[in-house]
Amino acid sequence: MAILNETAAFEERARSAAAERRLPLQELARYGPPRSLPNPDQRLGWIRRLLPVLGDYRWSLGLTIGFFSIGMALRAVIPRVLMAGIDNGVDGDDSLVPYAVALGVLAVVAAIAGYISRREMFRMAYRVETSLRHTVFAKLLKLSPSFYDTSETGQLVSRANGDIRAVQMFLAFGPVMLLNLVMFAVALVFMLQVSVALTAVALCPLPLVFVIANRSRSALLPISWVVMARQAEVGGLVEENIAGVRVIRSFGAEEAEITKMNKVADQLRWAEVRHFDVTAQFAPLLENLPRLGLAAVLLYGGLLAESGDVTPGALAAFSAYVVMLQMPFRFIGQIMQMAQRARAAALRVYDILDEPITVADAADAVPLGTVEGLVEFRDVSFGYGPNGNVLDGFDLTIRPGESVALVGETAAGKSTVARLLTRMYDVRSGQVCIDGHDVRAVTLESLRSQVSVALDEPFLFSTTIRDNIAYADPSASMDRLREAAASAQALEFIDQLDEGFETPVGERGYTLSGGQRQRVALARALLLQPPILVLDDATSAIDVRIEARIYAALRATTADRTVLIIAHRLSTISLADRVALLEGGRVVAQGTHQELLATEPRYVRLLEHLQDPDADDLAESVS
């Protein structure tokens, strides 16, 4: 029953997410980007960089400061009223009723002011958190693939979630502590009015408090950074193991992964214990040293009261002000801990925001416009790292409406060609052109709207089949969705499902077979009817006869579509109009499948591992 309930809950979440993605654009407009972004100047401190975002919520900040100031002023008056009540009502002839009523009114108004100030303060903090989360998420989606080649997913998730929350927590409580410093100044003024000598006694421990607070700040920053990094490692390992749970179980590696988690968790435990050990060393001193001043005030104030130099009411009021004076110091340990944690978190967030986007629109980029489908790679060189090139002098021309299969040994650079065509990476030298336009001279949005890519390991979202296919165009009608599914030979199995297109596919689509996932992903790529289609081994998990029907459908629906096929099996290669053999980072031979079989020994050697006796028959069936 529990499993059925979980399944039902998952399906409901999937339908809810699907419905949200189909909202009209005008309804989604209110979820637009924040008005301001953090200051990009890396020379500024982390709070100064955040000021533009805080400025968007200046009204909430103003209300917070205004009402907190009102409450603070009222709390500062209360000891004066208490002093007057004791001196004039207890030791004098006045009635205590007016003083009691005044204290009650002051307390109620101060409570109301405190409620409003805290409400606006938390509103501001959560709005800043939302703005930062939007900004970081948008930057993550715009960063080039090369950034993700060297980044850990867990670290990125942690920075976009936990680190932003640490900044929010400081913004929620930090202003209160800063305003308490103003309370310190106000209390000090009233204390000086009561007795300069008593004030000097109360302030004696404060220089030592300042020294300890400064040492606490220096000790907490590095360990706070380590704690957040360890937390990200734990999150990343959990995410990786959940995503790869099938592989882990297939190899019986559960115990090894548990051991790995125990090691990472133990490293986190050490960092957290060390963090709180540092806190425990300083926080008690910071909180209790000012109380020594209170003890000295009571002792010396009692002597002054006995001699008649101060009144009992003045001594009571002074004691109340000393307590107010201590408030910032009672929490200074916590605020120092939160501040250093927030600083470390903000710096980790800024690491993402400061990361340069290596693939972006040029300043003079223009829309690509209508595409006929001529694709040209002109003397292209490219490599992923500093050591050598994957492609070196790569030349290839694909005419409009032609299908070309690119073949070669594993790691020869075939998928790299597809990535350069869609500008996931930029060439080191040479040009990639579409209809004579260098892809670096056109806008990324227009380029990628004209080139659809289907991968060998398709990623499906945890929603319905309908929304996975409609991802490229959420407004697509059901007729268009069915047409795309039919071209990808997915319609037959979709219609056999109980819920058809509304069937949830599970995490990453694992409720479907590998071939079914590839067909859904292919339907998604075909939905926009792109003039240029890249199939990066996109039918490797599909039965060869279904694959033949897919290529037949592609030729029937759009005769002038340009298709680049990254192929690893003979049945796929034989379906292309032309084959290009890639070796040593360049094309070393071109021709039809049959021509290369007859004239190119290197092609024959490559195909020795790809033998498929049905390939020729399948090629004839779609010709």
Q: What is the DSSP letter of 597?
A: H
State whether 300 and 412 are in the same domain. no
> Of 320, 353, 386, which residue constitutes the final position of a domain?
353
Summarised one tens digit per residue, pLDDT across range 433-462 is 999 999 999 998 899 888 888 887 788 888
Q: Domain holding 108: CATH number? A: 1.20.1560.10
- Within a domain: 27: no
Model confidence at 611, pLDDT cuts 50, 70, 90, reads low
Give dist(CA 511, CA 362) in Å, integer: 42
State whether 90 and 223 are in the same domain. yes
- Within a domain: 13: no
State whether 382 and 287 are in the same domain. no
Contacts of 612 (CB under 8 A, 6+ apart): 544, 569, 570, 571
- Within a domain: 9: no
Of 67, 58, 184, which Cα lies nearest the Cα of 128? 58
Q: Which residues of 475-504 are buried (b: 16+ CB within 10 A; e: fewer)?
A: ebeeebbbbbbbbbbbbebbeeeeeebbbb
State whether 483 and 613 are in the same domain. yes
- Within a domain: 364: no
Summarised one tens digit per residue, pLDDT across range 170-199 is 888 777 776 777 777 777 888 888 778 888
Lowest mean pLDDT among 509-518, 524-533, 597-606: 509-518
- Within a domain: 523: yes
State whether 283 and 430 are in the same domain. no
- Within a domain: 297: yes
> Of 321, 353, 385, which residue constitutes the final position of a domain?
353
For strand 403-408 and strand 578-583, is the pairing parallel, antiparallel, or unpaired? Answer: parallel
Q: What is the pLDDT of residue 170?
A: 84
Structural domain count of the chain = 2
State whether 500 and 429 are in the same domain. yes
- Within a domain: 1: no
The reported pTM is 0.72
Q: What is the pLDDT of residue 515?
A: 84
Q: Any long-range contacts for 238-244 (C-beta under 8 Å, 24+ apart)?
A: 238/154, 239/153, 239/154, 239/157, 240/153, 240/154, 243/508
Model confidence at 396, pLDDT cuts 50, 70, 90, reads very high
State whether 323 and 391 are in the same domain. no
Q: Is the pLDDT of residue 387 over 80?
A: no
Model confidence at 92, pLDDT cuts 50, 70, 90, reads low
Helix (H) or strand (E) holding 523: helix 514-526
Lowest mean pLDDT among 191-195, 376-380, 554-558, 586-590: 554-558
Lowest mean pLDDT among 37-51, 478-492, 597-611: 597-611
Q: Which residues on neighbouring strands pair with residue 431, listed in sequence order?
A: 378
Contacts of 610 (CB under 8 A, 6+ apart): 568, 569, 570, 573
State whether 260 and 396 are in the same domain. no
Q: CA quadruple 41, 45, 46, 49: dihedral positive or negative?
A: negative
More confident residue, 214 or 91: 214
State whether 292 and 386 are in the same domain. no
Contact 535, 556 (CB under 8 A): no
State whether 553 and 595 are in the same domain. yes
SS3 422: coil
pLDDT mean over 554-569: 77
Q: Domain holding 431: CATH number? A: 3.40.50.300
Give dist(CA 38, CA 485) in Å, integer: 44
Sort 120 into a burial class: Cβ within 10 Å, 0-12 / 13-18 / 19+.
Answer: buried
pLDDT mean over 571-582: 85
Summarised one tens digit per residue, pLDDT across range 267-307 is 888 888 887 787 777 777 777 776 777 777 778 777 777 77
State whether 77 and 108 are in the same domain. yes
> Of 295, 318, 353, which residue constitutes the final position of a domain?
353
- Within a domain: 155: yes
State whether 299 and 415 are in the same domain. no
**What range defines the domain where residue 598 resides?**
375-622
